[in-house]
Amino acid sequence: MSTRRRPTPPPTGLDSGRTQQKQRTRRDLLTTASRLVAEGQRPSVGDVADAAGVSRRTAYRYFPTQTKMLVEAALEGVRPEIEGALASAPSGPTRAEMQARVDTLVRAVQEGAVANEHRLRTMIHLTVLEKPQPGTLPRGGRRVDWVELALAPLKPRLARSAHARLASALSLIVGIEALLVLRDIRGLTESQAIQTSQWMARAVLRETLREAGLD
């Protein structure tokens, strides 16, 4: 006799609130670590937890090692630059404006990846075989934030599934993984890699708009 698996219930408002709290806690730890490093320290995970007012047990769930924490703290430092670039991009939902926003997203993120390539390679080395622990967030949260920020003007005009698919596609096109494929496997220069990523991003944006009747 076969049994049917019950469908997974959709996230509740409480789940969403917990996720946001985890994101804030993680951000607080990284901000504190960046500040301590800027003051000339090389803080341990425990030092950062104490300075941020977070329990050490919680901090170690997010950052099991000092190296992982310090690498992520350094990478967090590119956030203002990328978000500033997106803030200066066109803010409307037209095709031309969204292409400009997507171009800005790709260039800013990929130039940041080039500038921090060693740290990002280290991060991949530290996390590629690591399964996310219960109650923690996967790496790559910054990239998701930036993609969502770039797509914000278009989001109200797309079906939820179309927006989610576009966000997923752009998350694959930008970031260190895309850069490594284009540089290490395809042998492209930094400039060629960025241009290729922009071409791919424009293509998925164009197809999304066409399917939604917005082109």
Q: Express each pLDDT in 155-191 by its tens digit.
A: 999 999 999 999 999 999 999 999 999 999 999 999 9
What pLDDT shows up at residue 192? 97
- The model carries a pTM of 0.76
What pLDDT shows up at residue 14? 55
Domain 14-66, architecture per CATH: Orthogonal Bundle (1.10)
Please identify every stretch of the chain with a pLDDT value under 50, giving residue numbers as ranges.
Answer: 1-3, 5, 8, 135-137
Domain ranges (residues) in the chain: 14-66, 78-211
What pLDDT shows up at residue 140? 60
What pLDDT shows up at residue 16? 59
What pLDDT shows up at residue 2? 45
What pLDDT shows up at residue 1? 45
Q: How far apart are the first and last CA of the chain?
A: 51
Distance from C-alpha of 48 to C-alpha of 69, rounded to nearest angstrom = 9
What pLDDT shows up at residue 3? 46
